[in-house]
Amino acid sequence: MFISGKKCEPSSLQKANVKNPATGELVGAVTLADEKTLQDAISSSKTAFDSWSKTDPKDRAFILGKVSAALKEESIANELAVLLTKEQGKPLKEARREIEGVTEVIDYFASLSSVLLSPDAKFYQNSNGYAFVSKKPLGVCAAILPWNLPALIFSWKVIPAILTGNTVVVKPSTDGPLTVLRLAEIFYESGLPAGVLNVVPATGELTGNVFATSPAVQKISFTGSIETGKLLREKVFSAANPVQKRLTLELGGSDAMIVCGDVDVRWAATEAVRARFFNCGQACVSPKRIFVFESIFEEFKKQVLAEVSKIHVGNGLESETTMGPVCDKNQWERLIDVMGRIRLEILETESDEIPGPGAGEILTGGNVLKADRSGKPLNGYFFEPTVVALAPDRSKTSVLLREEIFGPVMVLVPVKDLNDAIERSNDTIYGLGASVWTNNLKQAKTAVEQLDVGIVWVNQHARVLPSLPFGGVKESGIGRENGEQVLNDYLETKTVVLKNV
């Protein structure tokens, strides 16, 4: 772990082994922080805040620029990508793209230093005198990271915080801590002052309790499950907790993709497969529910299966691999359980009146994968790319549409028209993102207006830019990451009214 700019080992004896999900080989191990170590990290960040908050924004941006330049060096970028692939499983190409994404986030926010350099006082004058508004950094901010995109989401939470003059304590996932720890090291090698960024692996429950109740922590940004996010929210806003603080929650999603009858079917199917099976389906904005107009449903199904057949599952370090394993045993076992429940759903619906394929059908996949397409044995947490077709009536209750499936499972549902598709898309507790695929501007406008989500894409899906706000509605969370407006989430506003001065 990194505290005050140095690697350190806590007194805790609890360790977490990090294993390659493709092979089971040990990649590394981290010692998990106890409460004292977490408090030490917070104290370090609180001390560093005094000077960092007074640092000129252009000097903060200069250090971030050095970090970005370091990450663009081929040797460092490749080192991080290999480490990320080893601990998380994704193909090297995806890992390299994630590291590139970190540099894009840094470059974007560093370019906003001029916004912070502009006069921090906005003057207003009327008959009652003068008033002005100024903004100052909050203090210590806490970031709790997921395992699926650890480097990218690290940048979403850390970069705007430190650019605005805050200091940050980061709790990485125990399934993906090594890349984050190496990133912290690069930040310090690039000149970041001690204590501005502290990275402390720890258990989730302990971290949540400490961050929620610490008087020094002014903001928490969390990405993870709905259940954990709700527990954290309850701790932060508990009547027994005397400490008020800001909270951003990104709690996942079950994105819908609406494919209208006027699109190029092959193109839409290709893009659906790309987006759904990216990162082995382990992405919150992955299109998990695909609603396709009846008029093109059979052709879309055919094209999807053709594209899925091209996916090469294997060790992410091998050049031919286009989809790696599931991240860990728990996720793998959840997938096995989900597919078991899907098979039961289909069987329970079978009758003379409603045959199995009429209720639902596993078109391809659905099983643990023991060998790649060449017959080479696979010993990790591999799962077949899976496509399931559901009848419209069955889709109202299916686990595939009621829960977020974090893995390589695509579900297709035929719909009558756009209104039917929008109604089904909104019939969920989630509200992160959705997309509509059409050449008709009127249909696109209708979907944009009526889809109850935080992000709508037209003729694309899961394209995320650091310049645009990212976040959802309903159970998908509160608050936003990214975009210029997120800077205000890390700044305190002070209104000053003067007369006769």
Catalytic site positions: 250, 284
Q: Is a pLDDT exceeding 60 seen at residue 352?
A: no
Strand ranges (E), 94-147: 122-126, 129-137, 140-144
The type of residue at 102 is: V
CATH of domain 255-463: 3.40.309.10
pLDDT of the residue at 128: 74
Outline where 133-243 has alpha helix (H).
Answer: 150-163, 178-189, 204-213, 226-236
Q: Is a pLDDT exceeding 60 seen at residue 350?
A: no
- Enter the tokens of residue 391: 């009848």
**What are the domain boundaries of the chain?**
2-6+26-251+476-498, 255-463
Pick the range with the lowest mean pLDDT from 7-16, 98-107, 217-226. 7-16
pLDDT of the residue at 117: 65
Q: Rounded to an integer, what distance in angstroms lies between the CA atom of residue 145 and that of residue 207?
A: 11
Strand ranges (E), 395-448: 409-415, 433-437
For all residues of the chain together, what is the average pLDDT?
94
Q: Encode pLDDT of 49-83 as tens digits.
A: 999 999 999 999 999 999 999 999 999 999 999 99
- Enter the tokens of residue 159: 């970069």
pLDDT of the residue at 351: 40
Q: Encode pLDDT of 213-264 as tens digits.
A: 999 999 999 999 999 999 999 999 987 888 889 999 999 899 999 999 999 9
Q: Rounded to an integer, what distance in angstroms lies between the CA atom of residue 135 and that of residue 150?
A: 30
- Percent of the chain predicted with pLDDT > 90: 84
pLDDT of the residue at 354: 39
| Coil vs helix vs strand at 338 | helix
| Coil vs helix vs strand at 235 | helix
Q: Rounded to an integer, what distance in angstroms lies between the CA atom of residue 211 and that of residue 215?
A: 9
pLDDT of the residue at 240: 80
Inter-CA distances, 155 with 17, 32, 284, 432, Å: 24, 22, 17, 20
H/E stretch holding 69: helix 57-72
Q: Is a pLDDT exceeding 90 seen at residue 121?
A: no
CATH architecture of 2-6+26-251+476-498: 3-Layer(aba) Sandwich (3.40)
Kindly state the average pLDDT of the residues 152-169.
99
Sign of CA dihedral 151, 285, 300, 383: positive
φ and ψ at residue 144, rounded to 5 degrees? -115, 120
Residue 123 pLDDT level (bands cut at 50, 70, 90): low
In terms of Cα–Cα distance, which of 414, 387, 385, 411 is closest to 400? Answer: 411
pLDDT of the residue at 116: 81
In terms of Cα–Cα distance, which of 437, 458, 426, 88 is closest to 254? Answer: 426
- Enter the tokens of residue 21: 């999900």
Kindly state the average pLDDT of the residues 200-222.
97
Q: Is a pLDDT exceeding 90 seen at residue 125?
A: no
Kindly state the average pLDDT of the residues 26-52.
97
2-6+26-251+476-498 and 255-463 agree in CATH topology: no
